[in-house]
Structures are given as C-alpha cells and as structure tokens.
C-alpha cells in the first residue's frame, strides 16, 4: 500500500513539474512600477505638496495652542476662578478644533491619494494585461500581494515601467 501511495505521489509530482515547466510566470512590483513612472512621480509631488499645506496649518494651530497654554499658565495665579475656568474651556475648545482638523486632514489626505493614484493604477493594470498578452504570459503575480519569494529573473517590473511610458 505504501509503495502504491509513494508511486502515485511521485507521478503527481512529476506531472505537476511538467505542467509548471510549460507555464510562463512573472512577478511585478506594481507599487514600485507606478512610483517609477512620470505619472507616479507627478502624483507623489502632488500628494507631498498637499501634505505640506495641511502640515503648515496644523503647525500654526499647534503654535497658537502653545501660546494660549503658556499665557494661561503665566496668568493663572492672578486670575479669578471664574476666569480660570473660562480660559480652560477656551483652551479645551481650541484643542478639540485642532484634533478635529488633524483627523479631517488625515482623511482628506487618504482620499486625495486614492483620487490621484487610482487612474494611474488602472492604467498600469491595462499595461500589465497588454504586456502579458503580447509576451504570452500565463500568469503575472504582484510582489505586494503575498508573493513570498520570486527569483529576480522572473521580475518584469522594469519592463512594465518601460511599457507604461510608451
């Protein structure tokens, strides 16, 4: 029984290796490919500029909060309890505005990234599909989608970038 099982497994392994030898498989790092294209570089610059503008506003809000806090601490010894409470509430309200703005900015940045990169990734997908058809690939895997190992010889990222740019 063990001989039959072993023989069957060997035949399966052999037939699978023959089948696999006939497949034309490649891998591509789609994110790296997009980043190397002119469209990807423009998108990255666009995102960086957007982040800088939001960061300036956040930094200004932080500075204003720090000034309010410092001013409150300096004057708190001479302020009445009612005024102290009022100033603390103002400080808390400004801090809440700051937190809200920072969270909204983060969401907007993610939305902006998606808006900017989505058409580029769609175009990249079409380029990969066209490349696969022309070069008669059976399968192209994305390195970022769970590929544990791939020999550099089957990495076509540079070829895909070149095809994208054409």
- Going residue by residue through the chain, which has 166 residues, state the pLDDT in tens, using 9 for 90 and above: 555 655 454 554 555 554 555 788 899 999 999 999 999 999 999 999 999 999 999 999 999 999 999 998 888 888 888 888 898 999 999 999 999 999 999 999 999 999 999 999 999 999 999 999 999 999 999 998 888 888 888 899 999 999 999 8
Instruction: Judge residue 34's burial from the number of C-beta atoms within 10 Å of its C-beta, 0-12 exposed, 13-18 middle, 19 or more buried.
Output: buried
Determine contact, residues 81/41, Cβ cutoff 8 Å: no
What local confidence, expressed as pLDDT, does residue 149 receive? 84
CB atoms within 10 A of CB 66: 10
Residue-level length of the chain? 166
Determine contact, residues 28/142, Cβ cutoff 8 Å: yes
If phi > 0 it is left, if psi is from -120 to 50 it is alpha, else beta; for residue 136 that is left
What local confidence, expressed as pLDDT, does residue 7 receive? 47
Q: Is residue 109 part of a domain?
A: yes
**Number of structural domains in the chain:** 1
What local confidence, expressed as pLDDT, does residue 135 receive? 93
Q: Is residue 12 part of a domain?
A: no
DSSP state of 154: G
CATH at 103: 3.30.910
Quote the domain boundaries for residue 118: 24-165
Q: Is residue 59 part of a domain?
A: yes
Instruction: Compute the distance between CA of residue 69 and CA of residue 72 in angstroms, rounded to an integer.
Output: 5
Q: Is residue 145 part of a domain?
A: yes
What local confidence, expressed as pLDDT, does residue 152 receive? 86
Q: For 81-100, how does the pLDDT look when each residue is reduced to its tens digit (9 = 90+)?
A: 888 889 899 999 999 999 99
Q: Report residue 152 as tokens.
A: 């550099």
Instruction: Compute the distance between CA of residue 95 and CA of residue 97 in angstroms, rounded to an integer.
Output: 5
Phi, psi torsion values for 139, nearest 5 degrees: -155, 135
pTM higher than 0.75: no
């Amino acid at each position: 029984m063990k001989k039959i099982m072993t023989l069957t497994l060997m035949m399966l392994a052999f037939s699978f290796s023959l089948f696999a030898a006939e497949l034309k498989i490649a891998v591509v790092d789609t994110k790296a490919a997009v980043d190397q294209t002119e469209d990807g570089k423009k998108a990255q610059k666009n995102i960086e500029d957007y982040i800088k503008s939001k960061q300036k506003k956040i930094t200004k809000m932080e500075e204003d909060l720090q000034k309010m806090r410092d001013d409150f601490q300096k004057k708190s010894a001479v302020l009445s309890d009612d005024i102290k409470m009022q100033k603390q509430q103002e400080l808390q309200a400004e801090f809440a505005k700051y937190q809200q703005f920072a969270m909204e900015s983060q969401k907007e940045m993610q939305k902006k990234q998606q808006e900017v990169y989505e058409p580029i990734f769609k175009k990249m997908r079409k380029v990969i599909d066209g490349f696969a058809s022309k070069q008669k690939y059976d399968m192209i895997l994305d390195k970022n989608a769970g590929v544990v190992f791939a020999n550099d010889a089957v990495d076509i990222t540079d070829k895909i970038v070149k095809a994208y740019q054409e």
